[in-house]
Amino acid sequence: MAALAEARVEQVAREDLVMFVNACFSCTGQREFYGDARGQSVSIEFLHQYILGNYRRLYARTLAAGINHFNQAQILLNLLASGSPVEARDKAEEGALIAAALRALPPQRAFRVLESLRSRRINNRRARAVARDYVKGRGNLAFDAVKYRAKLRAAVSHGHLKLEGELGPFLFHGWKKRVFTQPLLESFRRAHYAQEALYELPYTVAEGLAVKHGIPRDVFLQRIEPRLTAAERLRLQESSARERGTPPPVELGRASLTKLALYVLALPLESRRARQPELQAALEQAAARVLRKSPSRLGRVAAILDNSYSSSGSWEKRRRPLGVALATHYLLSSAAREYRAWWTGPVEDALLVSARGQTDIATPLLDALAWGADLVVIVSDGYDNDPPNAVAELTRVFRAKLDPRRRTALVHVNPVFDSEGYAPRSFGTAVPTVGVRDAEDVPTVLGFARFAEGAASLSELEAYLAARVEALLARDAQGRQGEAGASRDVAPAEEGES
Amino acid sequence: MTDARLIQRLEPTGLRLAPSQVWGGMRLVPVLRDVVRGDLRMTLRTYDDVAAVVSVKGGLKEPGLKYVSYVPHGLVMTWAGRQAEAVYGAQLQPSDGKRLKAGPFSIRLMHRMVHREDRRQLRMLPLHLAMEGFLSLQFSGPEIAWSEYSREGLSRGLDPRSESSVPGWALPMLDGALRTFEIHPQQVGLLLFKADVLLSAFVVAHPEDYRALHRTLVEDFYGGLLLQYGFLGDVPALGLTLDASRVASLGDLRGEVNRMRQDWADFHGFMAGGLFGANVTSTGVYKAGGFLLQRFHTSLDPTEENHIGEAIVGTDGTLEYLKTYRLSSAQTRRAYLLSQLAESDWHLETAAERLRTTPQDLAVRLRNAGFGYLLKDSVLEAAQRKHRR
């Protein structure tokens, strides 16, 4: 009887954790096609509190599981808000995880976490130490002081940090008070009076000052061009082309895969058709770069990609489900030995895909099974309506009657979090469902799929997380060593923001 | 001689149903058309006036029979391949009727429910056409001057006759359902269920027209049932299952999925059984080339669900256009009372016998249904005295 209860406890713990990690892969608290932002944020908030209260150690370790930035930030804040664990070993591990995860976040998100410490009134010794270490570890703090001025000021004042040199006066006494010797700070001061100085500042800071000086947008865009980061270049392609005729030059192949896919989907069909070879090469290049970072070799792979109307996402996440599907298409096509894709609404070329029509996953799934794939990856939001529930039934019968030995692996990758179910919506029990935010994470979540299926035990899941924690900490230590060796005065970092 | 295109029994010829999509308490069933002829097209014309006054008889500003309602949009149908060629900046829509300013508001005067604008172009007011037909049932009133009827009732008939309905935007759920609905490529129509009760059916001839008109469904008017079951909760998503014992190969599995599709279609056909397959009484309204525009109503029997609507049927008998409205039970009762009266030549005693009641009770029922103005005050008072006792 006791053994039975134990097994049940273990099963519950495993299911809870899998649900949580899955939610952390996909949810960002933003509005989705079917769910509103309020429901999303309430749902994910609840999950965080539930897991933090019941499985604290695993909650902290989830930081290393490859989850999205929004949920990493939430975990960091929740851990810092709830004091440190009692056991010394846990304490050390959690501290190291928090520091490493914070450093691995893009700077604007990391500073946002520090700023949120103030708004959530979290001010304990550990939180102050974390803020201090992070700020101390930044390579070019003067640059941060200009670009993330309000956030850095909030972190410094809330954590009682001491800043060296001119930064303290710059942040707190106001830039009007004096002349600075640090060139960037001085540029920022001068840019309030002289237009020329403005072009030495980061784009986001210069943009507001340009409006203040009344500089025409086309002149501004032309002259600020050398200061643009890669993400800003990609973002400004269309609007800049409208304003001044030429877009800022960008190396499309170096952009992140999902962002590139979203950019392609935002283009009108004619220009997609006209620039077809260029865009295709860029997407393939980006996919190859992802695979270099996390290599995965796959056999005969079939992809079922959902381009129904619901993949158009929401006002806040425009075409994201479709973008993830498109990016996954390129990723799998370069990772697999043999590859074929089926879209729910047939398209002549993957680049020309658009979100239209009903969700009929059963027909392409049958085609894919008939083709004889080793691995079938379904990228969909989980709402199949032609006919409803067909995929769940089809896969159930397929597993029971046609493939009881599991020769064909089925995985459902879902970019949409369903707030009612506290998890990405699934296609029944025969297909494991994993959440995803960026297609770059697909190799990671494919590794996670065996836990979603329920085949692996809790101890295996714990071992998996522990291994990822070690990898994260090793990466972090390596990065810090490299940073200490390199010169401190680095050029403005290329910052991703996802 | 009757036209073969007049509908006797409403059959969804040339149409098939696809599985439903559910949002809260709404169930939307797509209607698909496999063969699209393409010679009957509909476009939307929006009016932004607070009310429209349509001259049903007589000229635009002359005294005569008028239909007054809020009309947010009309449909313009063109047939037999009429092509519009336009230059940029050209005014494509001719001015429709006349606009009168009334302070901050405007009122539109329009000529007839269905108005021919060009050789192969017709403007119609969707659903208002059917509603006008429903309001004008037995509109002329008693033909024989029985002593019970008031002078007004004898001289003016049912005029003024009114009915109320609910606009689609009164239920925010409907907007959500239409927003998240995924339109099929061959879709030409929609069956709208609220709490699994058929509220309305809408079918056009061409898929592109349907795509353009989809979101206007929220502006249309619906029967009181749209709000009546407002708090009933969500309708079940319904999942059919596959029979594992009949599957031995992938081909079988494909067959089973197809059977599942067919089961869905049959089931939705059954759910819409009060409309499709029901006997209807229809009258022709307009002959447009090979197409016949008509309006119809079902039996108006208070024990059954009743719909009114309008339809266009082509020469080959296919249903090219359909729009229906579900009558509430009170509306059905009113129509039923009037039809019973008309069938007994407006003689109260005969009608009371048909309804197995007394003339006094019938008079009270008429008054409760809102037709008290047809009867003399003395008759009504006597009936009420008797009824109270």
- B356 Cα distance to chain centroid: 31
- Could you give the angle at the alpha carbon of A156 between the alpha carbons of A62 and A59, nearest 5°? 10
CA distance B118 to A31: 47
Name, in order, each residue with C-beta under 8 angstroms of A223's C-beta and a sequence gap of 6 or more. Answer: A199
Contact B154, B141 (CB under 8 A): yes
Who among B20, B182, B247 is closest to A309 (CB)?
B182
Average pLDDT estimate for A208-234: 90
In 3-state terms chain A splits into helix, strand, coil percentages (rounded to 5) of 60, 10, 30
Task: Flag if A398 and B264 touch (Cβ within 8 Å).
Answer: no
CA distance A101 to A85: 18
Who among B21, B247, B254 is closest to A401 (CB)?
B247
pLDDT at A342: 95
A357 contact residues in B (CB cutoff 8 A) = 182-185
pLDDT at A484: 65
Helix (H) or strand (E) holding A459: helix A458-485
Which residue ranges make up each domain of chain A?
55-180+457-486, 192-247, 257-455
CB of A401 less than 8 A from some CB of B: yes
pLDDT at A149: 92
Who among A358, A400, A402 is closest to B182 (CB)?
A358
Tokens matching residue A384: 């199949």
Name, in order, each residue with C-beta under 8 angstroms of B292's C-beta and a sequence gap of 6 or more. Answer: B3, B5, B6, B284, B286, B312, B313
Specify the amino acid at residue A51: I
pLDDT band at B60, cuts 50/70/90? Answer: confident
Task: Name the 3-class secondary structure at A442.
Answer: helix
Task: Flag if A402 and B237 touch (Cβ within 8 Å).
Answer: no
CA distance A218 to A244: 5
B254 contact residues in A (CB cutoff 8 A) = 366
Task: Flag if B250 and A358 touch (Cβ within 8 Å).
Answer: no
pLDDT at B146: 87
CA distance A73 to A70: 5
CA distance B317 to chain A (A): 29
CA distances from A147 to A115, A118, A130, A248 (A): 14, 19, 21, 21
**Residue in chain B lying closest to A400 (CA):** B244
Least confident range from A199-203, A294-298, A459-463, A490-494: namely A490-494
Asked if pLDDT for residue B95 goes beyond 90, the answer is: no
Asked if pLDDT for residue A485 goes beyond 80, the answer is: no
Tokens matching residue B141: 């009133």
CATH of A257-455, one of 1.20.120, 3.40.1350, 2.40.128, 3.40.50: 3.40.50
Average pLDDT estimate for A323-336: 94
CA distance B312 to chain A (A): 27
Asked if pLDDT for residue A7 goes beyond 50, the answer is: yes
Task: Flag if B19 and A387 touch (Cβ within 8 Å).
Answer: yes
pLDDT at A45: 94
CA distance A398 to A396: 5
Task: Flag if A357 and B185 touch (Cβ within 8 Å).
Answer: yes
In this predicted model, what pLDDT tens digit does every residue of A130-171 receive, in sequence order? 999 999 999 899 999 999 999 999 999 999 998 888 898 899
Task: Report cis status (omega within 30 of 0) of the bond before A106.
Answer: no
CA distance B165 to B157: 23
Specify the amino acid at residue B63: P
Average pLDDT estimate for B1-27: 86
pLDDT band at A1, cuts 50/70/90? Answer: low
Residue with tokens 């929006």: B46
Question: Measured over all CA atoms, what is the biggest interatomic distance in chain B, rounded to whole angstroms?
Answer: 81
Average pLDDT estimate for A371-377: 92
Task: Flag if A388 and B248 touch (Cβ within 8 Å).
Answer: no
Which of these, A356, A388, A355, lies nearest to B18 by C-alpha position?
A: A388
Which of these, B328, B326, B297, B300, lies nearest to B310 by C-alpha position?
A: B297
How many Cβ atoms are within 10 Å of B335's Cβ, its own excluded? 23
pLDDT at B82: 58
B31 contact residues in A (CB cutoff 8 A) = none
Which range is most confident: A51-60, A488-497, B89-98, B117-126? A51-60
Least confident range from B60-74, B79-93, B224-238, B286-300: namely B79-93
Asked if pLDDT for residue A490 goes beyond 60, the answer is: no
Asked if pLDDT for residue B2 goes beyond 70, the answer is: no
> How many residue pairs from chains A and B have C-beta atoms closer than 8 A?
80
A356 contact residues in B (CB cutoff 8 A) = 183, 185
Least confident range from A117-121, A239-243, B325-329, B336-340: namely A239-243
Q: Parallel, antiparallel, or unpaired: how do β-strands B66-69 and B73-79 relate?
A: unpaired
CA distance A452 to B349: 76
Task: Flag if A310 and B260 touch (Cβ within 8 Å).
Answer: no
A369 contact residues in B (CB cutoff 8 A) = 250
pLDDT band at A488, cuts 50/70/90? Answer: very low
Task: Flag if A388 and B20 touch (Cβ within 8 Å).
Answer: yes
pLDDT band at B134, cuts 50/70/90? Answer: very high
Helix (H) or strand (E) holding B156: helix B151-156
CB of A356 less than 8 A from some CB of B: yes
Task: Report cis status (omega within 30 of 0) of the bond before A248.
Answer: no
Task: Flag if A359 and B182 touch (Cβ within 8 Å).
Answer: yes
A391 contact residues in B (CB cutoff 8 A) = none
Average pLDDT estimate for A37-42: 92
Residue of A383 and A486 predicted with greater confidence? A383
Average pLDDT estimate for B178-198: 92
Asked if pLDDT for residue A71 goes beyond 90, the answer is: yes
pLDDT at A241: 81
Which of A322, A366, A389 would best serve as a mutation to test chain B binding (most B beta carbons within 10 A)?
A389
In angstroms, the first-to-last Cα distance of chain A is 49
Least confident range from A232-241, B180-189, B260-269, B293-302: namely A232-241
Task: Report chain B residues touching chain A, CB-CB < 8 A.
Answer: 18-21, 30, 180-185, 237-242, 244, 247-250, 253-254, 256-257, 260-261, 264
pLDDT at B247: 87
Average pLDDT estimate for A338-365: 92
Which of B29, B245, B253, B258 would best serve as a mutation to test chain A binding (most A beta carbons within 10 A)?
B253
pLDDT at A480: 84
* Length of chain B as a residue count: 389
CA distance B205 to A450: 49
Asked if pLDDT for residue A496 goes beyond 60, the answer is: no
Q: Kindly calculate the radius of gyration of chain A based on its CA atoms and give it in whole angstroms.
A: 24
Task: Name the 3-class secondary structure at B105.
Answer: strand
Name, in order, each residue with C-beta under 8 angstroms of A37's C-beta and a sequence gap of 6 or more. Answer: A29, A30, A31, A316
Strand order in the sheet with B73-79: B40-46, B73-79, B121-124, B114-118
pLDDT at A298: 87
Task: Flag if B182 and A394 touch (Cβ within 8 Å).
Answer: no
Average pLDDT, chain A: 89
pLDDT band at A494, cuts 50/70/90? Answer: very low
Name, in order, each residue with C-beta under 8 angstroms of A117's C-beta and a sequence gap of 6 or more. Answer: A77, A80, A123, A127, A131, A155, A158, A159
B256 contact residues in A (CB cutoff 8 A) = 397
- Could you give the angle at the alpha carbon of A414 between the alpha carbons of A412 and A420, nearest 5°? 115
Asked if pLDDT for residue A180 goes beyond 90, the answer is: no
**Residue in chain A lying closest to B239 (CA):** A389
CB of A387 less than 8 A from some CB of B: yes
Task: Name the 3-class secondary structure at A22.
Answer: helix
pLDDT at A297: 83
Average pLDDT, chain B: 88
Task: Flag if B182 and A385 touch (Cβ within 8 Å).
Answer: yes
Phi, psi (rounded to 5 degrees) for A416: -120, 130
Phi, psi (rounded to 5 degrees) for A465: -65, -40
Q: Give the dihedral of Cα atoms B82, B86, B91, B96; nearest 10 deg.
A: 0
Specify the amino acid at residue A203: Y
CA distance B49 to chain A (A): 31
In this predicted model, what pLDDT tens digit does every residue of B307-363 receive, in sequence order? 999 999 988 888 999 999 999 999 999 999 999 989 888 888 899 999 999 888 899
pLDDT at A361: 93
CA distance A415 to A311: 9
pLDDT at B137: 87
